[in-house]
């Protein structure tokens, strides 16, 4: 390490990173970062994805049931009840009952009638009251009719209708258990009462007992196809189960039948969104739903998702923001808002949104638990992008304690730790990444970290045995990287650098020249080849190599520095002095260092 050691005390601890263009680099990685050592040499770190890669939203993965607002549910109840009563009125033709007015009933001596005759009279009175929609009197008369003659089927049919109506009233009053009791009794009296099945379906629907609700709705439809208002709830239930084709079938039929309210348009929008290729229709439906009812945060949330897919991220952010204004504790919206801000490079806003996502997440479901963990990972990335490395490290620490299967997360954490010169924990994270995803990229980064630790220890005059141990670990990891991919230029470059520092110059040259041949005009590789020649005393070749670097980057101060040294060691003192002047224009400390080199050679 003689060249690196010569300059270790001259410059500050730490490293500088910059992103390299990848047009000439045939690797699978999307983002290679050159890390300049304090001596001007370069090693490279590889992000599997670009460092500023766009984060993924949660909504596309959201599997939990879509929200149904109380007001929308009530609107559906009213429509089902209205439809049920229309169907029930048309089904009165199933009964053969002569109506009896209260006046006529008062003239009849009931006690003189047989039970069968009296039953028919009470049924006639009940039918009159039912026509008048006086359910309280109708039910008393029907119950008396059935009590007098249990074989009076027409009276039972009428009583079944009244019980259904009373169940509907209880349902609309949110007295759900009372409603179910009426519906149950109605079906006992008439197992063909489609209105009662529809009502019982609404009872199960309100209590989110989806399987039972679906069965009741389907029974109602099978008895009477005119029970059209259950098609929209059926479409919703099929959507909640993930049966999108069935959901589309029933919701489309409901809309053709005139069913059009905030809830049906909302779920139509969700169905179109899930179908993936009907985003414009999804937007139209969701906007219709919002125009009718602007209080459903989920409608704004999914509209934001649709707008994202339509390539309108700014509009999507607006909708996510509306979701959080309606419900300040709406965790998925805060998360996707953080993603939206991050992808717009609004890192401060992103950090705040992810913090809110974490703050309000009570982990009631596995899905929310995963979202909680991902929020910390994304929060760490946002801090990293902002340059707040300490906060990034804190967030990565939390994220990696919870997420143990994401190699990229460990890689990013390791890189940030490296930027703070925390090389031991950095190596631990790179090692975990390599175990999770053992490939050329993972081992190239692990080798890079061991090499950086060796440089760092050298700056603080740690024992040579310790430095060499890190270099050997670096070599082992990089050899493994090359075994996965023999043309991986990042690993070849890092391997060459490490081999040079271990004094294995010929092997270093092979690795560096291969990297250079694979990535023409790649300055880090070109420079390191020159350093390799210089270390081996092949000064003519070193001079030519550094001139090639300067042809690509005429103000590369390190290439000028090493060119001057190579010229001087090759006996071209005048040329070395001329190059030194160029160095001085860019960096006086490096020029002074050259002066020291020149003077020491004369003594």
Q: DSSP assignment of 338-398, as one string?
A: HHHHHHTT-HHHHHHHHHHHHHT----SHHHHHHHHHHHHHHHHHHHHHT-HHHHHHHHHH
pLDDT at residue 17, as a whole number:
43
pLDDT at residue 175, as a whole number:
95
pLDDT at residue 63, as a whole number:
66
Closest to 486 (Cα-Cα) out of 517, 530, 529: 517
CA angle 3, 7, 8 (to 5 degrees): 110
Strand-pair partners of 43 = 35
- Per-residue pLDDT reduced to its tens digit, 484-532: 999 999 999 999 999 999 999 889 989 998 998 888 778 888 888 898 8
Determine the Cα–Cα distance for residues 377 and 398; give it in Å rounded to an integer: 8
Contacts of 78 (CB under 8 A, 6+ apart): 172
**Could you give the count of Cα atoms lying within 13 Å of 32 in the half-sphere of its Cβ?**
28
pLDDT at residue 25, as a whole number:
43
- Per-residue pLDDT reduced to its tens digit, 410-449: 999 999 999 999 999 999 999 999 999 999 999 999 999 9
pLDDT at residue 67, as a whole number:
75
pTM for the model: 0.80
pLDDT at residue 438, as a whole number:
97
pLDDT at residue 39, as a whole number:
53
Determine the Cα–Cα distance for residues 322 and 344; give it in Å rounded to an integer: 18
pLDDT at residue 23, as a whole number:
32
Identify each DSSP E strand in 138-239 by its residue range: none
Determine the Cα–Cα distance for residues 5 and 454; give it in Å rounded to an integer: 11
Residues of the chain with pLDDT below 50 are 1-30
Determine the Cα–Cα distance for residues 493 and 104; give it in Å rounded to an integer: 107
C-alpha pair distances (Å), 97 with each of 88, 128, 168, 556: 15, 10, 24, 104
H-helix or E-strand spanning residue 308: helix 297-309
C-alpha pair distances (Å), 208 with each of 66, 67, 68, 184, 556: 12, 11, 10, 18, 69
C-alpha pair distances (Å), 489 with each of 45, 412, 425, 527: 11, 21, 26, 14
Determine the Cα–Cα distance for residues 259 and 234; give it in Å rounded to an integer: 13
pLDDT at residue 41, as a whole number:
57
pLDDT at residue 519, as a whole number:
81
pLDDT at residue 51, as a whole number:
65
121 in Cβ contact with 104 (< 8 Å): no
Q: Quote the radius of gyration of the chain (alpha carbons, Å).
A: 39
Helix (H, G, I), strand (E, B) or coil at 42: strand
Helix (H, G, I), strand (E, B) or coil at 213: helix
């Amino acid at each position: 390490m003689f060249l690196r050691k010569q300059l270790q005390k001259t410059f500050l601890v730490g490293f500088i990173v910059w992103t390299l263009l990848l047009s000439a680099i045939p690797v699978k990685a999307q983002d290679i970062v050159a890390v300049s050592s304090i001596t001007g040499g370069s090693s490279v770190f590889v992000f599997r994805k670009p460092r500023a890669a766009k984060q993924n939203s949660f909504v596309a993965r959201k599997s939990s049931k879509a929200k149904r607002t109380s007001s929308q549910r009530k609107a559906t109840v009213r429509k089902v009840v209205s439809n049920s009563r229309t169907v029930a009125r048309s089904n009165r033709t199933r009964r053969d009952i002569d109506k009896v007015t209260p006046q006529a009933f008062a003239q009849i001596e009931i006690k003189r009638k047989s039970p069968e005759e009296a039953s028919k009279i009470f049924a006639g009175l009940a039918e009159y009251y039912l026509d008048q929609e006086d359910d309280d009197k109708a039910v008393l008369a029907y119950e008396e009719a059935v009590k007098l003659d249990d074989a009076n089927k027409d009276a039972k049919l009428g009583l079944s209708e009244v019980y259904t109506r009373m169940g509907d009233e209880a349902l609309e009053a949110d007295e759900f258990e009372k409603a179910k009791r009426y519906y149950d009794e109605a079906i006992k009296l008439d197992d063909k009462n489609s209105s009662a099945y529809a009502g019982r379906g609404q009872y199960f629907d309100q209590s989110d007992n989806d399987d039972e609700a679906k069965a009741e709705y389907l029974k109602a439809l099978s008895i009477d196809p005119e029970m059209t208002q259950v098609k929209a709830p059926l479409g919703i239930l099929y959507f909640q189960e993930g049966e999108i084709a069935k959901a589309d079938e029933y919701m489309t039929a409901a809309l053709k039948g005139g069913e059009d309210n905030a809830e049906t348009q909302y779920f139509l929008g969700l169905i179109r969104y899930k179908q993936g290729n009907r985003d414009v229709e999804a937007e139209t439906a969701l906007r219709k739903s919002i125009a009718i009812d602007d209080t459903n945060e989920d409608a704004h949330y999914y509209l934001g998702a649709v707008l994202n897919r339509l390539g309108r991220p700014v509009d999507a952010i607006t909708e996510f923001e509306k979701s959080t204004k309606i419900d300040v504790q709406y965790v998925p919206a805060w998360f996707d808002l953080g993603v939206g801000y991050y992808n717009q490079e609004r890192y401060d806003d992103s950090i705040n949104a992810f913090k809110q996502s974490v703050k309000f997440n009570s982990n009631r479901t596995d899905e929310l638990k995963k979202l909680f963990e991902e929020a910390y990972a994304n929060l760490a990335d946002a801090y990293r992008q902002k340059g707040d490395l300490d906060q990034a490290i804190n967030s990565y620490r939390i994220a990696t304690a919870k997420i143990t299967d994401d190699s990229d997360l460990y890689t990013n954490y390791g890189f940030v730790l490296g930027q703070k010169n925390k090389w031991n924990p950095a190596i631990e994270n790179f090692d975990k990444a390599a175990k999770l995803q053992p490939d050329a990229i993972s081992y190239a980064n692990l080798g890079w970290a061991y090499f950086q630790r060796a440089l760092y220890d050298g700056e603080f005059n740690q024992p040579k045995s310790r430095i060499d141990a890190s270099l050997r670990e670096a070599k082992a990891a990089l050899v493994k990287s090359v075994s996965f991919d023999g043309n991986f230029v990042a690993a070849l470059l890092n391997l060459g650098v490490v081999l040079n520092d271990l004094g294995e110059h010929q092997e270093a040259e092979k690795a560096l020249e291969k990297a250079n041949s694979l990535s023409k005009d790649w300055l880090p590789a070109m420079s390191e080849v020159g350093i390799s020649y210089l270390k081996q005393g092949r000064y003519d070749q070193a001079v030519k190599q550094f001139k090639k670097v300067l042809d690509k980057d005429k103000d590369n101060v390190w290439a000028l520095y090493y060119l001057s040294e190579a010229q001087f060691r090759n006996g071209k003192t005048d040329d070395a002095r001329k190059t030194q002047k160029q160095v001085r224009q860019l960096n006086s400390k490096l020029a002074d260092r050259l002066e020291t080199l020149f003077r020491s050679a004369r003594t």
